[in-house]
Amino acid sequence: MNRNKGAGSLMLLAAAVIWGSTFVAQSLGMRHIGAFTFQAVRSLLGALALWPVILLNDRIVKRKEGGARRGDRRALLIGGTLCGLVLFAAVNLQQFGLKETTAGKAGFLTALYILIVPLYGLLFGHRVRPVMWLSVALAGAGLYLLSVTEAFTVIRGDVLLILCAFAFAAQILLVDHYAVRVSGMKLCAVQFLVCGLLSGIAMFIFESPSAGTILAAAGPLLYAGVLSSGVAYTLQILAQRTTPPALASLLMSLEAVFAVFTGMLVLGEMPSLREVIGSALMFLAIIVSQRAEQPRLPA
C-alpha cells in the first residue's frame, strides 16, 4: 500500500510539473496565435489525446461489467456539456490574463481555486472550519502583494485571472458531482470537446487564424493539448486511486510553484521581492487550506 501511495504521489508530482510548465507554453503560443485559437486547438487535441486511453479502458470495463448503461450516457452528455461551458470561460479568461502578466503570477492567481472551492460550499450549507478563514486571510494578503501596485491599482490581466480561478472552482465542483456517475476520462474528453468547439466559434468570430500561424505555435499547442490535457489528467486519474484526497490536492497545487520556476528558466521572468513574498503567502495559504482536510461536498 505504501508503495502504491508513493507511486501515486510521484504521478501527481509529474502532473503538477506539466500543468505548471503549461503556463509557459500558453505564453509562448500567444506570440503566434490569439487566445481563442490557442484554446480551441489545445482543447480539441486534449480530447483526441484521451481517445485511445478511453478505448482501452472501455475494453476492460466491457469485459467486467458488460458496457455502459443508457443513463450513464445521458449523465455524461449533460455533465460534459456543463463542465465544458465552465471550462471554456475558465481557460479563455486565463489565456487573456496571460497576455498582461507573467506565467508565474498567473500560476498562483489561478491556484486560488483551491481556496474558493470550499468557500463555494457555504452556498450548499457546508460549514467551513476556522482554519480555512486563516487560509483566506493569508491568500488575501498574498493576492494584494501580487496584484495591487503601490498606486493601489490592479491590472486587467490580474482581474481576469482571479475570475478564472472562480470559474475553475465551479468546474471542479461540477466534475466532483458528475465524476461519480460517469467515467472520469470520458467526462474530461467531452468537456474538452465542448470547450474546443466553443473556443473555435469564438476564434472565427473575433480572430483571424491561419494554418501558418497555428503551425508556428505547434510546439506549445502539442505540449498544452497532449501533455497537459491528456497525459497529466490520466496521471491524476490513476494516482487518485491510491492517494488520499488531502495529499493529492496539495501535490496538484504545486503547479503554481512550477509555473514560477519554468517562467524564470524559459521566459526569463524574474519576480520582484513583492511578488516573491506574495507568492509565498499564497502558497502558505494553499498548504493551510489542504491541512484543514475539508470533507467532500455533497454530490
Confidence of residue 278 (pLDDT cuts 50, 70, 90): confident
For residue 32, what is its C-alpha cell? 503566434
Q: Is the pLDDT of residue 7 over 70?
A: yes
Distance CA 173, CA 83 (A): 9
- Identify which of 75, 51, 28 has the alpha carbon closest to the alpha carbon of residue 218: 28
Predicted local distance difference test score (pLDDT) of residue 297: 40
Name the average pLDDT for the chain. 82
- Measure CA 147 to chain center: 20
pLDDT reading at 5 higher than 80: no
Kindly state the average pLDDT of the residues 71-83: 87
Closest CA to 209 of 36, 76, 90: 36
Longest CA pairwise span in the chain (Å)? 64
The pLDDT of residue 147 is above 80: no
Does residue 272 have a pLDDT over 60? yes
At 154, phi and psi to the nearest 5? -120, 130
Among 93-107, 165-179, 206-220, 255-269, the range of highest mean pLDDT: 206-220
> Which cell numbers in the block locate residue 155?
491590472
Cα-flanking dihedrals φ and ψ of residue 148, to 5°?
-95, 120
pLDDT grade for 299, boundaries at 50, 70 and 90: very low
The average pLDDT across 172-181 equals: 81
Placement of cell 491561419 in the chain: 210
Q: What is the mean pLDDT of residues 50-66?
A: 79
Averaged pLDDT, 236-251: 67
Query: How confident is the model at residue 65, as a pLDDT?
Result: 65
- DSSP secondary structure string for all residues of 249-262: HHHHTTHHHHHHHH
Give the separation between CA 139 and CA 158, rounded to whole angstroms. 14
Q: If pLDDT is split at 50, 70 and 90, which confidence band does 287 have? A: confident
pLDDT at 294 over 90: no
Q: Is the pLDDT of residue 286 over 90?
A: no
Task: Give SS3 for 47.
Answer: helix
pLDDT score, position 3: 61
pLDDT recorded at residue 207: 94
CA distance 84 to 87: 5
Distance CA 198, CA 165 (A): 19
Instruction: Choose between 230 and 227: higher pLDDT.
Output: 227
